[in-house]
Amino acid sequence: ANRQREDGWDARSRTAGYFDNRLSRFQLTHDERHLERQLEWAKKMTSWASTNEVPAEVAVTPMVRVLEAHVNKLKSKLDDLSGITTELRQAEARSRMEASKWKRAADQATAKAGQLQRENERLREAARQGAVQE
């Protein structure tokens, strides 16, 4: 069980484990922490530049680069989440279809069992009638 959890496989089902594993990628990665540190550095540089009368475009350029990188990373994650959402919807639809198929099979089996029980009762009654007539 521990090994399954370590591998990201949820014990409830392989499908749930697959999506748990996919979603775990959306925790803060090393790159994101690095981007956050860069953003802090860019803010400090901007502050330093404003106090030392450095032209705004010189001060803001590093921050813009960091923000662009961060935005691109977020866009990539959004695309990944969109793909996962689509996969989840498809899995849900397949699950519903499978459940419907099993429900139909169960209903048919129940109907057949009822039919066989009625037939069995009819045969017993006929056998009883035959035994009484002899």
d(CA 103, CA 100): 5
Torsion of CA 80, 86, 87, 91, to 10 degrees: 160
Output the pTM of the full model. Answer: 0.45
pLDDT digits (tens, 9 = 90+) for 70-127: 888 888 888 888 888 898 899 899 999 999 999 999 999 999 999 999 999 999 999 9
Question: Which tokens belong to 125?
Answer: 């009654």
Residue 107's domain comprises 2-133
The more confidently predicted of residues 121 and 23 is 121
Number of domains in the chain: 1
Share of the chain above pLDDT 90, in %: 28
